[in-house]
């Protein structure tokens, strides 16, 4: 009897625990546009060690989905914009996509897929309407394919949108509505989402407000209060995130969908590549957001708990820098899985837990030779080649390496190229200019990185060790 009572109590506890986890819990975006991505199993361990229960992916990489199998982590899988045309024009292609990239992973007992993100910010103004004709038909075809696969009730579709799909003529949230050029399309999409009990997903970036407008009031980008709050018919806004989110709530409301659930698909702050991208401001923003999130505090119009995914987990050194040099620095963790700053994102209060078992390449750097002639006509093309094929986004005004002198930033460029190319000798052969050193050229603010070992580099390494062991055995 005693045992049975205990068992019932235990089951109740477990039920309670799961239902609590279901409601709360921050998600993260796991992007993979890196020259040396961390192994998926390492990332999944990192997610678990940090108590992160939800991830958002930008595609459907089978290695990543395998690593997420039986992890207990909820997954949003993405369909990249360049597949929208195919998904829109062929029901069969949509069915194949669902079979291969969803059903296969769900049925093998494994991956807890909850959402399909159809496209990624497809209506961004800078795309000039490229995906306007295909997004809704792709959404419809994927939804139908999910139903046909028997997954219609467990998996929801959504279209992660940039906050530029809505606007407010006066700046007041209550004047919010969908952008004029795509108004009818947005209403059709929202109607379809609503019919299928699916959420609206929006990416909101206060950092971009500050980046694009030098006169933007800095404190209004954060969550610590603002001296000149916005009063919108009695609703008080002291931060731009709330005002932006509620502009969407008004837009939905105005078009008859006031109760549609909203997911914040991306929210975060970069740590380099811009004068406002640094550790202090990123910590201030993300902790400000997380403190409210953990407390279950929403916006003036939706005051309850929120659903959100931080952007992003790890820095990606091969992202396009067309939007700005900050693009490669959104991670809570550096490229090698080291946490960047103190952050409480859940019940753990002693900071983020870094990746374990990550091996770096040897402590070697490629730098400008002390004797090199700066007037050599090889300097400019060498630096430009290195920066185009590696990552110089930590150079420039207000960035972590912005304080280097001219020799310092040439060295930085050379080293980045050398590390991205796994420290092969040929990657430190800038004509008459470069040399390899084992003395760390880093300064207090500026880190000259050492790349991590990737699977292929490690395989070569372990082959060498096997060969060596074989020779030792043969010798004995
Ligand atoms: C980096 O991005 C470029 C352009 O998107 C791509 O061609 C290249 O293969 C990528 N490199 C790595 C190592 O992922
Ligand atoms: C599954 O997803 C991957 C990654 O996005 C994509 O390359 C592939 O074409 C998809 N498979 C099918 C059958 O559509
Ligand atoms: C959008 O249009 C602008 C101006 O015409 C052009 O510079 C840009 O390359 C276009 N972008 C795309 C993605 O087509
Ligand atoms: C390198 O340093 C020089 C001198 O400080 C500066 O003018 C230049 O913009 C820097 N280059 C880069 C790529 O940041």
For residue 172, the tally of other CB atoms under 10 A from its CB is 18
* 72 Cα distance to chain centroid: 20
CA 311 / ligand 4 centre spacing (Å): 29
The answer to whether residue 469 scores a pLDDT higher than 50 is: no
83 is a domain residue: yes
CA 323 / ligand 3 centre spacing (Å): 13
Predicted confidence band of residue 14 (pLDDT cuts 50, 70, 90):
very low
> Read out DSSP for 104-143?
HHHHTT--EEEEEEESSSTT-GGGTTTTTTTHHHHHHHHH
Tell me the CATH number at 417: 1.20.58
342 is a domain residue: no
Please identify which of the residues 2, 22, 95, 121 carries the catalytic annotation: 121
Predicted confidence band of residue 310 (pLDDT cuts 50, 70, 90):
very high
Whole-angstrom CA distances from 392 to 33, 160, 267, 282, 289 are 16, 30, 24, 20, 30
Shared domain for 319 and 376, answered yes or no, is no
Average pLDDT over residues 27-56: 97
The answer to whether residue 91 scores a pLDDT higher than 50 is: yes
Nearest-CA residue for ligand 1 atom 1 is: 318
Average pLDDT over residues 33-56: 97
24 is a domain residue: yes
For residue 257, the tally of other CB atoms under 10 A from its CB is 16
Closest CA to 339 of 57, 46, 12, 6: 46
Shared domain for 314 and 384, answered yes or no, is no
Predicted confidence band of residue 476 (pLDDT cuts 50, 70, 90):
very low
Q: Please report the atom of ligand 3 found closest to the CA of residue 127.
A: 13
Shared domain for 126 and 245, answered yes or no, is yes
Q: Please report the atom of ligand 4 found closest to the CA of residue 405.
A: 5
Residue 108, pLDDT score: 62
CA 96 / ligand 2 centre spacing (Å): 9
Residue 61, pLDDT score: 98
Number of domains in the chain: 2
Average pLDDT over residues 366-380: 97
Residue 20, pLDDT score: 36
Nearest-CA residue for ligand 1 atom 11 is: 35
Range scoring the smallest mean pLDDT among 220-229, 299-308, 348-357: 348-357
168 is a domain residue: yes
Residue 264, pLDDT score: 98
Nearest-CA residue for ligand 4 atom 9 is: 396
Is the minimum distance from the CB of 19 to ligand 3 under 6 angstroms? no
* pLDDT digits 0-9 by tens, 209-250: 999 999 999 999 999 999 999 999 999 999 999 999 999 999
Whole-angstrom CA distances from 394 to 274, 321, 356, 387, 404 are 8, 12, 25, 11, 10
CA 88 / ligand 1 centre spacing (Å): 27
> Read out DSSP for 428-463?
G--TTTEEEESS----SS-----PBP-HHHHHHHHH
Shared domain for 309 and 376, answered yes or no, is no
Shared domain for 423 and 319, answered yes or no, is no
Closest CA to 241 of 170, 178, 290: 290
Mean pLDDT for the chain?
92
The answer to whether residue 176 scores a pLDDT higher than 60 is: yes
Residue 231, pLDDT score: 98
Over pLDDT 90: what percentage of the chain? 88
Shared domain for 185 and 264, answered yes or no, is yes
> Read out DSSP for 13-54?
HHHHHHHHHHH---EEEE----SSPPPHHHHHHHHHHTT--E
Q: Please report the atom of ligand 4 found closest to the CA of residue 406.
A: 2
Is residue 121 part of the annotated active site? The answer reads yes
Over pLDDT 70: what percentage of the chain? 90
Residue located via tokens 């009063």: 231
Q: What angle do CA 115, 119, 125 make, to 5 degrees?
A: 135
* 19 Cα distance to chain centroid: 26
Residue 24, pLDDT score: 55
347 is a domain residue: no
Predicted confidence band of residue 349 (pLDDT cuts 50, 70, 90):
confident
351 is a domain residue: no
Shared domain for 87 and 179, answered yes or no, is yes
Shared domain for 190 and 303, answered yes or no, is yes
Residue located via tokens 């000798």: 425
Find out whether 57 and 77 touch, Cβ atoms under 8 Å: yes
Q: Which of 307, 328, 349 is the last residue of a domain?
A: 328
* pLDDT digits 0-9 by tens, 108-152: 669 999 999 999 999 999 999 999 999 999 999 999 999 999 999
* pLDDT digits 0-9 by tens, 272-296: 999 999 999 999 999 999 999 999 9
Is residue 266 part of the annotated active site? The answer reads yes
Looking at the CA of 99, name the nearest ligand. Answer: 2
Nearest-CA residue for ligand 4 atom 1 is: 406
Predicted confidence band of residue 456 (pLDDT cuts 50, 70, 90):
low
Shared domain for 284 and 382, answered yes or no, is no
391 is a domain residue: yes
Q: Provide the angle, in degrees to the nearest 10, between the axes of the packed helices 135-148 and 183-195.
A: 10
- Sequence length of the chain is 476
Q: Which residues of 298-328 are buried (b: 16+ CB within 10 A; e: fewer)?
A: bbbbeeebbbbbbbbbbbbbebeeeebbbbb
Closest CA to 425 of 384, 366, 362, 360: 366
CA 125 / ligand 3 centre spacing (Å): 9
Shared domain for 238 and 114, answered yes or no, is yes
Q: What angle do CA 466, 472, 473 make, to 5 degrees?
A: 90
Is the minimum distance from the CB of 59 to ligand 2 under 6 angstroms? yes
* pLDDT digits 0-9 by tens, 390-407: 999 999 999 999 999 999
Shared domain for 319 and 371, answered yes or no, is no
Closest CA to 42 of 354, 463, 420: 354
Q: Which of 328, 357, 381 is the last residue of a domain?
A: 328
Is the minimum distance from the CB of 235 to ligand 2 under 6 angstroms? no
Range scoring the smallest mean pLDDT among 18-27, 36-45, 96-105: 18-27
Nearest-CA residue for ligand 1 atom 2 is: 318
Q: Which residues of 435-451 are buried (b: 16+ CB within 10 A; e: fewer)?
A: bbbeeebeeeebebbbb
Tell me the CATH number at 95: 3.20.20.80
User: Which structural domain range is residue 403 located in?
Assistant: 365-475
The secondary structure of residue 60, as a DSSP letter, is -
Residue 465, pLDDT score: 37
Nearest-CA residue for ligand 4 atom 7 is: 406
Q: Which of 303, 328, 353 is the last residue of a domain?
A: 328
* pLDDT digits 0-9 by tens, 432-441: 999 999 999 9
198 is a domain residue: yes
Shared domain for 323 and 372, answered yes or no, is no
Is the minimum distance from the CB of 318 to ligand 1 under 6 angstroms? yes
Predicted confidence band of residue 347 (pLDDT cuts 50, 70, 90):
confident
Average pLDDT over residues 415-435: 98
Where is pLDDT greater, at 11 or 177? Answer: 177
């Amino acid at each position: 009897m005693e045992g049975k009572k205990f068992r019932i109590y235990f089951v109740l506890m477990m039920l309670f625990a799961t239902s609590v986890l279901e409601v709360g819990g921050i998600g993260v975006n796991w992007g993979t546009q890196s020259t040396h991505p961390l192994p998926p199993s390492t990332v999944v361990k990192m997610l678990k060690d940090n108590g992160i229960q939800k991830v958002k992916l930008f595609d459907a990489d089978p290695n990543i989905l395998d690593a997420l199998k039986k992890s207990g982590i909820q997954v949003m899988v993405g369909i990249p914009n360049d597949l929208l045309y195919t998904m829109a024009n062929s029901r069969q292609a949509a069915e194949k996509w669902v079979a291969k990239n969803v059903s296969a992973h769900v049925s093998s007992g494994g991956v807890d897929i909850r959402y399909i993100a159809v496209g990624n910010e497809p209506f961004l103004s800078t795309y000039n309407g490229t995906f306007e004709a295909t997004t809704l038909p792709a959404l419809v075809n994927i939804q139908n394919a999910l139903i046909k696969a028997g997954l219609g009730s467990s998996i929801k579709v959504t279209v992660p949108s940039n906050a530029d799909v809505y606007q407010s003529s006066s700046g007041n949230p209550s004047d919010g509505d969908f952008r004029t050029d795509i108004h009818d399309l947005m209403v059709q999409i929202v109607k379809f989402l609503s019919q299928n009990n699916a959420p609206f997903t929006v990416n909101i970036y206060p950092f971009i407000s500050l980046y694009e407008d030098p006169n933007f009031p800095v404190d209004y980008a954060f969550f610590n209060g603002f001296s000149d709050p916005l009063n919108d018919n009695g609703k008080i806004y002291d931060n731009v995130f709330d005002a932006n989110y509620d502009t969407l709530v008004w837009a939905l409301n105005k078009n008859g969908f006031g109760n549609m659930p909203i997911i914040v698909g991306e929210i975060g702050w970069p740590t380099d590549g811009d004068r406002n991208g640094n550790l202090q401001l990123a910590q201030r923003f993300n902790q400000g957001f997380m403190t409210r999130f953990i407390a279950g505090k929403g916006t003036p119009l939706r005051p309850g708990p929120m659903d959100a995914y931080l952007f992003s987990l790890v820095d990606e050194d091969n992202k396009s820098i067309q939007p700005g040099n900050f693009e490669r620095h959104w991670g809570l963790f550096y490229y090698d899985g080291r946490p960047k700053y103190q952050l409480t994102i859940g019940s753990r209060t002693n900071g983020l837990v870094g990746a374990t078992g990550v091996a770096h390449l040897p402590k070697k750097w490629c730098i400008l030779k002390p004797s090199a002639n700066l007037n050599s006509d090889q300097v400019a093309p060498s630096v430009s080649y290195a920066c185009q094929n590696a990552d110089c986004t930590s150079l420039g005004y207000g960035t972590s390496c912005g304080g280097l002198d001219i020799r310092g930033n040439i060295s930085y460029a050379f080293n980045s190229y050398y590390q991205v190319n796994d420290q092969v000798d040929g990657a430190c052969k800038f004509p008459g200019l470069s040399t390899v050193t084992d003395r760390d050229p880093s300064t207090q603010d500026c880190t000259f990185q050492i790349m991590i070992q990737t699977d292929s580099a490690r395989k070569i390494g372990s082959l060498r060790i096997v060969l060596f062991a074989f020779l030792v055995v043969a010798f004995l």
